[in-house]
Chain A
Amino acid sequence: MLYLLSNHKMKKLSYILIAVLSLASCKKDTLDLVPQTTLSSATFFKNAAEYNQALVGAYTNLRGIAFMGIYMDEMRSDNTFFTIYSADRGTSTSAEAYTEFIDNNISSQEPNSPGNRYGNDYSGIATVNTILTRLSKSDLAQADKDQISGEALFLRAFYYYDLVQHYGGVPLQVEEVTDISGAFLPRNSADDVYNQIVKDLTAAIPLLPVVKTFPQTGRATQGAAKVLLAYTYMAKPTKEYDKAEAALLDVTKMNYSLLPDYASVFDPNNKNNQESIFEVQYKIGNDGQQSDFIWRFIPKTTNTEFILGLHGTNARGSLSSGGWNVPTQEMVDSYEPGDLRLPASIAVAEGTVASEVLTTTAVKSPVGYKPTPGLGYYYFIKKYLHPPYQVEYNTNDNWPVFRYSGALLLLAECLVDEGKTGDALLYLNQVRKRAGLAGLAQATKQNVADEMRHELAFENHRWTDLVRNNMAIDVLNAKGVRLKALYGFLLPSTFNVTQNRLIYAIPFRELQINNKLTQNPGY
Chain B
Amino acid sequence: MLILGLLMYIPLRSQGQVAVTGSVKDSVNSQPVIGVSVSLKGTTTGTQTDVNGKFKISGPVGGVLIFRYIGYKEQQVTIQNTAPINVLLGSLSQNLREVVVVSYGTQSKREITGAISSINATEVKDMPVPNIGQKLQGKLAGVQINQNSGTPGAEMTFRIRGAASINAGNNPLIVIDGFPSESGLQTLSPDEIESISVLKDASASSLYGSRAANGVVLVTTKQAKNGVKSLDFSAYTGVQSVPDRGKPDLMNPEEFATYKKEYYEDAAKYENYTGGVPAIYQNPSQYAGTKGTNWFDILLRNALTQNYNLAFSSGTKDLKSVVNLNYNKQDGVMLNSYDERFNARMNNVYTASDRLTLGANLEVSYGNNQVVPGLDNGRNIIENAFLMDPTVNYKNPDGTYPLSFSQPGMFPNPNYYLVLTQIVNKTKAGRVIANGFAELKIIDGLKLKTTINVNTNNTTNRQFTPSTAQGGLGSAPPQPATGSYSNSSFTTWLSENTLNYQKTLWGKHNFDVLAGYTVQKYSGENSYIDASQFPDDNIQWINAATTRIGNIDLSQPANFGQWSLLSYIGRFNYNYDSKYLVSFAFRRDGSSKFGDNNKYGNFPSVSVGWVASDEAFLKNVKPISFLKLRGSYGKVGNNNIGFYTYLASVNTSNYVFGDQVTPGKTLSGIGNNSLTWETTTSYDIGLDLALFNNRVTFTYDYYWKKTDGLLYGIDIPIQSGFSTITSNVGRFDFWGHEFTIGTKNLVGDFKWNTNFNISFDRNIVKKLGTNDAPIGGYNEYWDDNRTAVGHPIGLFYGYINTGVYMTQQQFDNQPHDATAMVGTARFKDVSGPNGVPDGKIDSYDRTYIGNPNPTFVYGITNSFSYKNFDLSIVAAGSVGNDIADDSFQSTENLDGVFNVRKGVANRWRSEEDPGDGIYPRTRSGTTADFRNFTSRQVFKATYIAIKNITLGYTIPVKKTQYFKSFRAYLSAQNAFIFTKYPGLNPEAGLAGLNGLNQGRDFTGYPIPRVLSAGVNVGF
A residues whose Cβ falls under 8 Å from a Cβ of B: 2-3, 5, 7, 10-11, 13-14, 17-18, 20-22, 25-26, 30-42, 44, 50, 53-60, 84, 86-90, 92-93, 102, 104-106, 109-111, 116, 118-119, 122-123, 125-127, 129-130, 170-171, 173, 177-185, 215, 217-219, 271-272, 281-283, 286-289, 313, 315-318, 321, 354-355, 487-493, 507-510, 512-515, 517, 519
Contacts and interface: CB of A to CB of B under 8 A. Distances in A.
Contact of A38 (B649, B727, B771): B649
A315 to B, nearest CB: 7
Given A126-B720, A182-B720, A56 B715 contact: no
Interface in B881-908: 893, 895-897
A230 to B, nearest CB: 25
A10 B9 CA distance: 9
B657 A281 contact: yes
Contacts of B408: 354-355
A19 B443 CA distance: 18
B474 A21 contact: no
A259 to B, nearest CB: 18
B718 A53 contact: no
A33 B778 contact: no
Given A32-B592, A116-B718, A179-B725, 16 more contacts: A2-B8, A3-B8, A3-B12, A21-B2, A21-B497, A22-B517, A33-B563, A41-B647, A171-B717, A182-B720, A183-B719, A215-B658, A271-B659, A313-B475, A491-B926, A508-B843
Given A50-B665, A60-B664, A286-B549, A183 B725 contact: yes
B780 A11 contact: no
B721 A125 contact: yes
Given A14-B448, A180-B725, A92 B928 contact: yes
B654 A287 contact: yes
Interface of B: 2, 6, 8-12, 267, 270-273, 406, 408-412, 440, 442-443, 448, 450, 471, 473-475, 479, 495, 497, 499, 517, 519, 521, 547, 549, 552, 554, 560-564, 566, 590-592, 599, 643-644, 647-651, 653-668, 670-671, 714-723, 725, 727, 769-771, 773-774, 778-782, 818-819, 821, 833, 842-843, 893, 895-897, 924-928
A88 to B, nearest CB: 7
Contact of A10 (B412, B442, B656, B893): B442
A102 B819 CA distance: 8
Contacts of A283: 656, 659-661
Given A31-B599, A86-B924, A217-B658, A42 B896 contact: no
A286 B842 CA distance: 43
A40 B648 contact: yes
Contacts of A92: 819, 924-925, 928
A196 to B, nearest CB: 14
Contacts, number: 320
A321 B409 CA distance: 17
Contact of B643 (A35, A130, A173, A181): A35
A268 B132 CA distance: 61
Given A3-B8, A513-B716, A317 B843 contact: no
A377 to B, nearest CB: 16
A416 B20 CA distance: 119
Contacts of A104: 818, 842-843
A106 B721 contact: no
Nearest to B770: A180
Given A39-B649, A40-B649, A489-B925, A180 B819 contact: no
A184 B440 contact: no
Contact of B928 (A20, A89, A487): A89
B658 A89 contact: no
Given A90-B928, A182-B720, A510-B719, A22 B773 contact: no
Nearest to A321: B474
B718 A281 contact: no
Given A3-B8, A18-B499, A37-B560, A515 B771 contact: yes
A379 B541 CA distance: 42
Contact of A33 (B562, B653, B663): B562
Contacts of A491: 818-819, 821, 925-926
A449 to B, nearest CB: 30
Contacts of A272: 658-659
B474 A88 contact: yes
A232 B670 CA distance: 31
Contact of A219 (B657, B665, B717): B657
A278 to B, nearest CB: 13
Given A289-B654, A488-B273, A183 B716 contact: yes
Contact of A40 (B410, B647, B658, B663): B647
Instruction: Give the 6 A-B residue pairs with the shortest CB-CB distance, closest first.
Output: A126-B721, A56-B664, A316-B474, A488-B272, A488-B271, A57-B666
